[in-house]
Amino acid sequence: MALIQLGTSACALYNPTSSSKSVVKECNIPSDQSGTITAKWPVIPIPIALHQGDFDDSEASSISAAASTWNTFFTASSSVTTLDPGSSGSIRTSSNSNPRQAGSICAQGIMQGNTKFTGNVVIYKLSKWSANYPQNAMALTTTCFLQATPYPKFYMAVMEINYQNFFVSGTKVPDLQSIVLHELGHLHGLNHSCEATTKSGTPNCNDPNLNPDYIVASMFPTFSFDPSGIGEQKRDLQSNDQGRANCLYSGSGSTN
């Protein structure tokens, strides 16, 4: 059993322009990204929920739009949807308390065997960000998984969004839809397109010859802000995100 934390951090590195290319339908993990898959869910779609009362209508619609972007992509690439937000148009809510606050997330799995979900991946707004979390992370997706071949299998996940150090008055304001799109990438099992540190099977973001596809990707680890503190928009999945994601979920509803 392993516990990992994945997050985005805030610094002004790059300001990509969005591009609209055709949808990637093939599985493509470039050799220098061989270590950038964390795990996969054994079955899709993954049920997601907003923690009850946390998000206003505008925030909920941003989160819903990010989820739709993933589903629209997978529908086009593989005729599947990977996220189940509940009723169309709005994401279901959950009254479950945050399992991370109790420190027992991996004891609260939401899978029954490898075939059935028994709960939702809940998205929480934290007005008090844990001192144990990276303070420059705008959000964290925490997952639990079991070793399996070819990829470990998720059985639990939680998404938390940092409304202490970001989003609120007097702080930088990220583009929520872009941040959630990125976090949903982690939820699917994608790690960052590159890392600022040396890591096996992962490109170094500081490599001057870094593939530009990795920089424009949603899964690039950092987001920039303009001088007034407004975060950049990266609301689309790019070819590198799409190619890697296709290796995890394609072809049928079951991905055992």
User: Does residue 68 belong to the site contacting Zn ion (CB under 5 A)?
Assistant: no
User: Could you give the CA distance from residue 182 to residue 232 in angstroms, rounded to a whole number?
Assistant: 13
User: Does residue 142 belong to the site contacting Zn ion (CB under 5 A)?
Assistant: no
Least distance CB 8 / Zn ion (angstroms): 4
Residue number with CB closer to Zn ion (6 or 158) = 6
Secondary structure (3-state) at 93: strand
The region of 1-9, 23-31, 85-93, 113-121 touching Zn ion under the rule CB under 5 A is 1-9
Tokens of 146: 């079991």
Residue number with CB closer to Zn ion (8 or 177) = 8
User: Could you give the CA distance from residue 229 to residue 167 in angstroms, rounded to a whole number?
Assistant: 10
| Dihedral Cα 139, 145, 148, 150, nearest 10 deg | -10
Residues 4-23 that bind Zn ion (CB under 5 A): 6, 8
Closest CA to 13 of 238, 241, 228, 220: 220
Least distance CB 23 / Zn ion (angstroms): 22
Residue number with CB closer to Zn ion (54 or 241) = 241
Residue number with CB closer to Zn ion (49 or 137) = 137
User: Does residue 202 belong to the site contacting Zn ion (CB under 5 A)?
Assistant: no
What are the distances in angstroms from CA 148 to CA 3, 40, 45, 132, 145? 15, 10, 20, 29, 9
- Which residue ranges make up the site for Zn ion (CB under 5 A)? 6, 8
